[in-house]
Copies of this chain bind each other. A is one copy, B any other.
Amino acid sequence: MTDPHPVPSSLPTVLIVGAGFGGLKAATALKHAPVRVVVVDRQNHHLFQPLLYQVASATLSPADIAAPIRHILRTQKNAEVVLGEVRAVDLAARRVDLADGTGLSYDFLILAAGSRSSYFGRKDWEGLAPGLKTLDDALEIRRRFLLTFERAEQEEDPDLRREWLTFVIVGGGPTGVELAGTLKEMARLSLPREFRRIRTDRARVILVEAGSSILANFGTGLSEKAVVELERIGVEVRLGQAITGIEARAVQLGGERIPTRTVIWAAGVAAVPLAASLGLEVDRIGRLLVEPDLSLPGHPDVFAIGDLAAFLHGSGGALPGVAPVAIQQGDCAANNIVATLGHRSRQAFRYRDKGSMATLGRGKAVAHIGHLSFTGYPAWLAWLFIHLMLLVDFRSRVFVFFEWLWAYLTTQPRARLILRNGPRPGAGEPSGKDA
């Protein structure tokens, strides 16, 4: 095994695995530190995941919410970027092995590789109900969603037509809620004039949540308010009902069988398998238990942050897998490395909750920020503004702003393209006859 990434300088190497919110923040926080920063990610881009559902719903293009990691770090002279997938970590030898057979050495390691969709051990559901974690996932959901209307338009049998026009979204967290709202709005507002035989506005969008409320973390009445708003635009919200089966043409919901061709999974995530592969203690969903300073027990040179870390030192269990936690932890881990190099003591991580918000379709949202809860148009405007400001670079902000303005004024989002449909005819294409 060769090492094609020799340390060119005598500076200690901080290796960061994953360029999501946490990893990228850690990298930029080390910009002026006396270290060499190496960021490794299996994608070439940082993804602004909170807007991923808008790529799935064809409002935004991938380039609107993603930027090459190299581009983001281009002026950070002490940073290098490696495109590669980490297969294993050798904690004793202080090196990670990549899928292509090469390896990377480190003095400090920050694990920030995030989470993936988890199907609670039901591997067979994975192919039937895509999750929404990557741009490829989003394009696949977009493709399936748009194709169902094409199939429905060509279907004569009213029962089969209803089957095509039924969408089941599993999981009532922010992703499931926002996806349900935006898909129903597309069927209701964007598509009707384009079809001659079907009433797209009658498409059923069913949001299934096994727990007793959607947006459970939002608290104080916002959950009930969100249900009211979703139902107002026609989303069917099923609370306290668990999916017990997913087939190619139906879901089983307790005793009820709902014929459908499209099931989207937003019900659960787990840490990437790399976390459990270390042989250290993990929680129920595979996240690494971390010390107050975010290092791994017994390994002060290794930190875990974001979705693959379980930070249990506050009140009320582990912190949720959201961007603000990852960002603040990335900053904390970077600062603790700098402190260690300067022979100063490390700080314990302390989370500052900035609030939560979710859209519920056109002009509607729920939000709580600090002690304030608000809903409707003001919450929606706040959501728009905050998400525009959080986008990682200026150019994304400009283009996303115009895309939103366009979609709002016309109800016609631009990106309604079915890709991967053409070049190799008949390859894995859902058809009206089989599946």
Contacts and interface: CB of A to CB of B under 8 A. Distances in A.
Contacts of A410: 395
B432 A63 contact: no
A433 B62 contact: no
Nearest to A415: B63
Interface string A167-208: 000000000000000000000000001111000000000000
Given A61-B61, A150-B83, A417 B136 contact: no
A79 B80 CA distance: 54
A85 interface: yes
Given A68-B194, A101-B433, A154-B102, A139 B419 contact: yes
Interface in A4-45: 4-5, 42-45
A44 to B, nearest CB: 4
A299 interface: no
Contacts of A402: 398-399, 402
Contacts of A419: 62, 135-136, 139
A425 B99 contact: yes
A335 interface: no
Interface of A: 2, 4-5, 42-45, 61-64, 66-68, 70-71, 73-75, 80-85, 99-102, 133-137, 139, 146-147, 150, 153-156, 193-196, 395-396, 398-399, 402-403, 406, 410, 412, 414-423, 425-426, 431-433
A425 B61 CA distance: 23
Contacts of A66: 417
Contact of A154 (B5, B42, B403, B422): B5
A352 B135 CA distance: 44
Contact of A415 (B62, B139, B418): B62
B136 A432 contact: no
A160 B420 CA distance: 32
A398 to B, nearest CB: 8
16 contacts: A4-B156, A4-B432, A42-B422, A44-B146, A45-B418, A71-B416, A81-B194, A99-B425, A101-B431, A134-B423, A136-B423, A139-B419, A395-B414, A398-B402, A398-B406, A399-B399
A34 to B, nearest CB: 18
Determine how many copies of this chain the complex contains: 2
Nearest to A423: B136
B102 A432 contact: yes
Contact of A418 (B43, B61, B194, B416): B43
A398 B84 CA distance: 37
Task: Please provide the 3 A-B residue pairs with the shortest distance between their CB atoms, ordered closest to farther.
Answer: A70-B194, A63-B415, A61-B61
Contacts of A100: 431-433
A44 B418 contact: yes
A432 to B, nearest CB: 6
Contacts of A147: 83
A416 B68 contact: yes
A18 to B, nearest CB: 12
A421 B194 contact: no
Contacts of A194: 68, 70-71, 73-74, 81
- Determine which residue in A101, A133, A419, A432 has the highest number of CB atoms from chain B within 10 A of its CB, and name it: A419
Contact of A196 (B80, B153, B422): B80
A42 B153 CA distance: 15
A423 B137 contact: yes
Nearest to A66: B417
B75 A417 contact: no
Contacts of A396: 414
A403 B154 CA distance: 37
A102 B432 CA distance: 9
Contacts of A154: 4-5, 82-84, 102
B193 A74 contact: yes
Nearest to A403: B399
Nearest to A421: B43
- Determine which residue in A99, A410, A423 has the highest number of CB atoms from chain B within 10 A of its CB, and name it: A423
